Copies of this chain bind each other. A is one copy, B any other.
Amino acid sequence: MARFVVPRPSRHTRPGLPRMARMTTAFEDFHVGQVLEFGSRTVSKDEILAFAADFDPQPFHLDEAAAADSVLGGLSASGWHTCAMTMRMMCDAYLLDSTSQGSPGLENIRWLRPVRPGDTLHVRMTILETRVSKSRPHIGLVRSSWEVFNQHDEIVLQMEGWGMFGRRDMPT
């Protein structure tokens, strides 16, 4: 369940995206400075090993002894696994009931701390920029930053990127 909060400078509790609870989220619902906090995803050792076996079988994601000897100091999730879990938290919090049309790309992905078996992740999303697409005026672009924290409120992942959303006030 998403928890809406206002930007950091003013620590009030009025909702940041007030339309979300009432109707499908569209481009018009995003405003620069909004902060959205959401997600609570616990990752098991088995999930870490399964993702690594499929996509990132480096020893520090797949083998406890090798991981203990690595720069990561113990078994940790592939950075791509953390990104994918973050994507799922975005879907559940706002994308699945929205006019989302996907994303053209992301910037500045930073894997800042290892994600360990048993960690529980949550996300803080901040809206940085909104604009209507010049080439496709029925689409709006929303640039956001996402910060992902573990259960100790330590940041594990930071990234920025664009989402494309249909506009509510435009005929298709």
Contacts and interface: CB of A to CB of B under 8 A. Distances in A.
Contact of A106 (B58, B95, B109, B139): B109
Instruction: Say what secondary structure dominates the interface of chain A.
Output: mixed
A72 B139 CA distance: 13
Interface string A73-100: 0000011100111011001000110001
Interface in A107-128: 107-111
A58 B102 CA distance: 9
A101 B106 CA distance: 23
Tallying the copies of this chain within the complex gives: 2
Given A55-B84, A80-B80, A164-B71, A111 B100 contact: no
Given A79-B102, A80-B84, A107-B109, 19 more contacts: A51-B84, A54-B88, A55-B85, A56-B84, A56-B91, A58-B95, A70-B102, A71-B164, A78-B87, A79-B103, A80-B80, A80-B83, A80-B87, A104-B110, A104-B111, A105-B108, A105-B109, A105-B110, A105-B111
